[in-house]
Amino acid sequence: MRKNPLAVLDHGLGEAGSLPWGGRFGQYESFWPRPRGIWDVPYNEGMDVAFCPMQRQRGVRFLAKVVLASCLVGGTSAQTFSELLRAGDPVPGTSVLVTRIDNVDVNRSGDWLIALDSDGPASADAYLLSQQGVVWQEGTVTGFAAPSGTVAGASLDVVDLNDEGDVLLTFPLVNTPGGTPAGTVLVRNGQVLIRTGVTPCSAPGLPAGTLYSGIEEAWQNNTGTILLGASVALGGSGDTPILLTLTLDAQGQIATETKVAMVGETLPGGYHVTPIQAFSFVKGLQSINDAGDFLWYEEDDDAPPGDVTTDSNIYRNNTLLFNESETFPVASGQAFKQLSLARLSLNNRGDFVCAAWDRSPYADDTWLFVRHNGVDHVLAHEGDFAPVAFPGVWTTRGYGFGGVIPLSDTGDVLWLLDTDDPDYLRDTAIFHNQDLVLQEGVTLLSGVPVFGLPNFESELAMSSDGHWSIMEVELPGPFDAVFLVEFEYTRGITYCDPAVPNSTGAPGVLRALGSDELYLNHITLEASQLPPQVFGCFLNGTGSGVTNQPAGSVGNLCLSNLVGFYNRTGEVFQTTTSGRGQLALDLADTPTGAGPFAITAGQHWYFQCWYRDWASGTSNFTNAVELVFQ
């Protein structure tokens, strides 16, 4: 049974008395085994500094890091930038030099891919890199099982890495000898799934023997489904655009093919009865999640004839999501326009983000909004003030919000801001929600200001959990460089801050990391600047009342109302050698003085850390954090 919190405090942590988790300090000091969990992964001490000078190395830069935190005005964010590669570096394991970066991707494990061009021989100068080195090269069979008499052709068109580590690519083939075209292939984990001119499309509704004649774009999820934009040779010839879903079997081969829509056919769902005229197979206008739901764009054949104001649509599966004549969701009295220029991303929770234009005749027609649980939330709007994290009083300009707008499962959005700052060398920025990540001409990477920011589909990606991003930027020269970004975001409002210093001379610091969106259940408490190798636990309360130096502690308890202790198995922590400890919370099972409780939206909760301080012979508290769950 959990002890009464007030009775626990009366004993004091400075004595060899009862602890909130039971037992006595004497026995824990020598004999208590460390619990498994957060201790299994050591902290990277290199991330504790404010700035780490870049160490120039030949080849891929795995270890160089720069941490940006308080230098980004107004943000509560911190992100670690690790330079991976830049133009002028040698391609790992070769003597040729990188000349251009073409495509990047990253997954939730922090694994990444970089497609590049080099100054090598023209028939073999394109490469794909991962942490392991070269995984594909033009003019060779590296990275795939090549059809007999062929090698990889000029460039990679699709580079997709999912959370399971599956690599999806499209590229042309050339014959050997001779170098003549030999079709295009869709390759997954080195195995050819489709080869144009050879592989039949077996989707129901197509004539038997219909061959694939082109591969435009492909998107994969983590559960064995591919959304494919392609073309087929109807009647044995021609290129008819088609959108399909492919499901894969346990061996990673195509098990089923399903036609979603095809040029020349009528629109699904009966919204229009006119034939489809075109698709727009670009990376940022289609998306698929792990449930197999997908978003896609098409343009119909001008219904009524000649009417271009109602002829484009965005669908979710086979259900119409937006028609360009319909009311714009977040702009009263306005309709959509130019849906072909919209950008979309769908996460595994079923939420999506949309960047689109309304038909306002004024310079305020561009919007960025997220639909979460059916409710639209505006992130940015042309003409409104830029987020406060962007220095200066500037408004958002209407050049869109980037070539892609990745949306994580934790609800985080990565997007490009363009402002009306007349200094065009510093008027753009990359934001993570409302937090500044990079500002053109201001943020220093590798000791120099960023010259150009990612604004194309191939230059920016974010992992599904929002923890990692990979960005292609321009450094002065200009020349391309790729950085891996690790995000660490604090939530809530701190109070009782700073706390009373401990024996290290510094006050203990508590942060809440993750998301305050309740449905995500994604909050981690982290305590730092504590003495090394001491025990402690996190506390919570529904009030912020202050008790000075309870039961002999040198610090102050800043919680009240049914104070609860995270003292169950695996919750009590021992600090690392750098004085840190953390705990991922289960918001549906929150310990309180009245028993376990499920936190609900709109509630205010308060958190603090209580820890032993051996050197001072007593206990102490960190600052406290107030969170309001959404």
Which tens digits make up the pLDDT trace of 275-297? 899 999 999 999 999 999 999 99
Residue 398 half-sphere exposure, CB side, CA atoms within 13 Å? 16
Compute the distance between CA of residue 84 and CA of residue 61 in angstroms, rounded to an integer.
Answer: 4
Q: Can you give the pLDDT at residue 361?
A: 77
- Residue 290: the pLDDT is 97
Contact 532, 576 (CB under 8 A): yes
Q: Find, among 209, 136, 121, 207, the residue nearest to 170 by Cα.
A: 136
* For residue 498, pLDDT beyond 90: yes
Structure tokens at 61: 């830069």
Q: Using 50, 70 and 90 to split pLDDT, how confident is the model at 336?
A: confident
The model carries a pTM of 0.76
Please state the rounded mean pLDDT for residues 258-275. 82
**Nearest one of 123, 115, 117, 229 to 174, comparing CA atoms:** 123
pLDDT(15) > 70: no
- Residue 47 pLDDT: 25
- 42-56, 198-212, 261-275: least confidently modelled range: 42-56
Tokens of 561: 């109302």
pLDDT over threshold 80, residue 544? yes
Helix (H, G, I), strand (E, B) or coil at 544: coil
Mean pLDDT along residues 427-447: 93
CATH number at residue 524: 2.60.40.10
Contact between residue 607 and residue 539 where contact means Cβ atoms under 8 Å apart = yes
Residue 69: the pLDDT is 35
- Cα–Cα distance measured from residue 280 to residue 299, given in angstroms and rounded to the nearest whole number: 8
Residue 344 CA to its chain's centroid (Å): 14
For the chain, what is the mean pLDDT? 85
Residue 630 has pLDDT above 80, yes or no: no
Mean pLDDT of 294-307: 81
CB 474 within 8 A of CB 452: yes
* pLDDT number for residue 303: 62
More confident position, 601 or 61: 601
Q: Which among 464, 375, 453, 365 has a CA at the least distance from the CA of 415?
A: 453
Q: Is residue 182 part of a domain?
A: no
570 or 491, which is more confident: 570
Q: What is the DSSP letter of 342?
A: -
Residue 20 has pLDDT above 90, yes or no: no
Give the H or E element holding residue 247. Answer: strand 240-248
Among 22-36, 374-388, 412-426, 480-494, the least confident range: 22-36
Q: How far apart are the first and last CA of the chain?
A: 31
Q: What is the CA radius of gyration of the chain?
A: 28
> For residues 23 and 230, which has the higher predicted lDDT (pLDDT)?
230
Query: Residue 478: its pLDDT value, please?
Result: 86
Q: Does 26 fall in a domain?
A: yes
Q: Which of 20-29, 168-177, 371-380 has the highest mean pLDDT?
A: 168-177
Residue span of the structural domain in which 524 resides: 5-33+499-628
> What pLDDT does residue 494 have?
92
> Is position 242 within any domain?
no
Region 164-192 average pLDDT: 96
Task: Tell me whether residue 524 is in a domain.
Answer: yes
Is 523 within the bounds of a domain?
yes
Q: What is the pLDDT, as a whole number, of residue 475?
A: 95
Name which of 114-128, 214-228, 359-373, 437-451 the model is least confident about: 359-373
**Using CA atoms, how far apart are residues 558 and 566, in angstroms rounded to an integer?**
16
Q: Does 618 map to a domain?
A: yes
CB 305 within 8 Å of CB 329: no
pLDDT number for residue 274 = 78
Predicted local distance difference test score (pLDDT) of residue 477: 87
* 628 neighbors 22 (Cβ within 8 angstroms): no
Whether the Cβ atoms of residue 473 and residue 453 lie closer than 8 Å to each other = yes
Length of the chain: 630
The CA distance from 489 to 469, in Å, is 14
Q: pLDDT at position 465, please?
A: 85
Whether 518 has a pLDDT exceeding 90, the answer reads no
How many Cβ atoms are within 10 Å of 213's Cβ, its own excluded? 22
Indicate if the pLDDT at residue 461 is higher than 80: yes
| CA distances (Å), origin 476, targets 442, 456, 606 | 12, 19, 46
8 A C-beta contact, residue 78 and residue 72: no
Look at the chain and report how many structural domains it folds into. 1
Cβ contact 545:607 at 8 Å: no
pLDDT over 80 (residue 123): yes
Res. 29: pLDDT tops 60:
no
Q: Do the domain assignments include residue 125?
A: no
**Residue-wise pLDDT tens digits, 229-249:** 999 999 889 999 999 999 999
* Residue 226 domain flag: no
Residue 31, pLDDT > 80, answer no
Percentage of the chain modeled with pLDDT above 90: 68
The predicted pLDDT at position 359 comes to: 86
